[in-house]
Amino acid sequence: MTKRLAGNVPKALSAPVSQGYSIDARKLTTRLLNASIKSGVSKGRHITILNPDARHNLAVGIVKRCSLSFAGSVGYYCCAFCDGISATIEGNSGWGLGDNLMSGSIVIRQDAGASVGASMRGGQILVWGNAGARAGISMKGGTLVIAGNSGFLTGFMMQRGRIIVMGGVGDAAGDSMYEGIVYVGGEIGSLGVDAKTESATRSEEVELRAFLKALKFRDDILPRRFKKIVSAKRLYQYDSLEPLERERLVI
């Protein structure tokens, strides 16, 4: 399962950038700002959002291949409901960064707030700092990479995909997860309900290392071994197939 998912993870998209330009968020309401981002995106340009000022709901609902960067911190639900974006955030984020991401890539240079990658279904999110509580809550696909530590309830109710935490995770890791894998390089505070640890296989380790190196993680900061948290499936009541997959099975 891991290998198949890994194959599906898109590399950081290089959008068809013709000429970049910037938008000063300070001068615009959130609604106007998002409209400006969308119209710029449709012209295929790289957009830099200046003074994002930790405001909420920036760059939501963009379903085109595009390239964005935020010159500062963003608030709640940044890049939520997006499909195909490639975004970089130079500061921190509030709750729910990349909520429901379908595909594309989000990179955040500092810390992510709680619920990063909530319900994401594809693509990848890379947090260079730490993540707050409930990272990858209800994840349904894709890869969430956290270079620092991740908080309480990491991978809570996760249904698919994988979370790779280079540092440690807090208490109740993998609580009530159905499917998917949480890899942890550091310490695990405690395991959540119906979660268990397994040892990663040799091939998984090799694949993980190759994946992380491709993200420019230096060899010397990669953990020596990864712990692996999966569902113990004692409370398992779950059909992990997407509707399309189920149709295919029936046929």
Is the Cβ–Cβ distance between 199 and 167 less than 8 Å? Answer: no
Q: How far is the CB of 56 from another protein (least distance, A)?
A: 7
Q: How far is the CB of 44 from another protein (least distance, A)?
A: 29
Other CB atoms within 10 Å distance of the CB of residue 236: 11
Q: How far is Cα 27 from Cα 23, in angstroms, rounded to an integer?
A: 9
DSSP per-residue string spanning 128-145: SS-B-TTTTTT-EEEEEE
Q: In terms of CB distance, is 56 or 209 closer to another protein?
A: 56
| The length of the chain, given as a count of residues | 251
> For residue 177, which amino acid is it?
M
Is the Cβ–Cβ distance between 84 and 57 less than 8 Å? Answer: no
Q: In terms of CB distance, is 41 or 118 closer to another protein?
A: 118
What's the chain's Rg over C-alpha atoms? 18
Q: In terms of CB distance, is 5 or 54 closer to another protein?
A: 54
Q: Considering only CA atoms, which of 18, 91, 82 is closest in space to residue 50?
A: 91
Q: In terms of CB distance, is 108 or 212 closer to another protein?
A: 108
Q: How far is the CB of 36 from another protein (least distance, A)?
A: 20
Would you tell me which residues interact with another protein (CB under 8 A)? 53-56, 72-73, 75-76, 90-92, 94-95, 110-111, 113-114, 130, 132-134, 151-153, 170-171
Q: In terms of CB distance, is 41 or 68 closer to another protein?
A: 68
Q: How far is the CB of 72 from another protein (least distance, A)?
A: 7
Q: How far is the CB of 151 from another protein (least distance, A)?
A: 5
Q: In terms of CB distance, is 23 or 116 closer to another protein?
A: 116
> Which tokens go with 76?
């709640």
Q: Considering only CA atoms, which of 126, 112, 167 is closest in space to residue 11?
A: 126
β 140-146/21-24 pair status: unpaired
Q: In terms of CB distance, is 94 or 141 closer to another protein?
A: 94
Q: How far is the CB of 182 from another protein (least distance, A)?
A: 17
User: How far, CA to CA in Å, does 74 sit from each of 25, 105, 193?
Assistant: 11, 16, 32
Is the Cβ–Cβ distance between 148 and 166 less than 8 Å? Answer: yes
Q: How far is the CB of 114 from another protein (least distance, A)?
A: 7
